[in-house]
Amino acid sequence: MLLTPHTFVGAALGASIPNPVIAVPLSIAMHFVGDIVPHWDFYSHTTKEERLRGWRPVAVMADLAIGVAVGLIPTLYALWVLNNPNMAVNIFLCGIGSVLPDALEAPYIFMNKDKGFLHWLARFQSKMQYQAALPWGLISQVVVILVSLVVLLNSIR
Ligand SMILES: [Zn+2]
């Protein structure tokens, strides 16, 4: 799944579950659940060479930038508008947790290692990815974003 819907899920969890001891591990777990949702992403049906060249790394960076904004906007809103630093920290940590498995995997894509925790994580994640062709592979993610947005907007007040 793209990073943007992952961060929407994280922000929604951070805003709706006040206890970070529950919310942060849950947002990490929900990353894997998100990848089970049939989706299309920039790496769908690509070779390792295709992943490293051309437009795909640029698209990943753009997705990452949007994802960071999705995490930071409610964080800053909770901090500055709601004066709720606990919620702000919680949303921030859940936003990081929601993309942590992919963030850990990113350096692995650029390395050529075939053992260790990152290798295991990358293998595990690629097995847990369920691909869907366009447009369904994007529609599923739009639904994830909309549901998360409803939860987020209802919680952050
Ligand atoms: Zn993932």
Distance (Å, whole) CA 36 – CA 148: 16
**Domain with 36 in it:** 3-155
Task: Report how far ligand 1's centroid is from the alpha carbon of 146 (Å).
Answer: 19
pTM equals 0.93
Distance 140 CA to ligand 1 centre (A): 15
Helical axes 85-110 vs 55-76, angle rounded to 10°: 170
Alpha carbons 84 and 81: distance in angstroms, whole number = 8
Query: Which of the four pLDDT bands, split at 50, 70 and 90, describes residue 24?
Result: very high
Q: Cα separations (Å) of 24 from 10, 119, 123? A: 8, 23, 23
Domain count across the chain: 1
Mean per-residue pLDDT for 60-67? 95
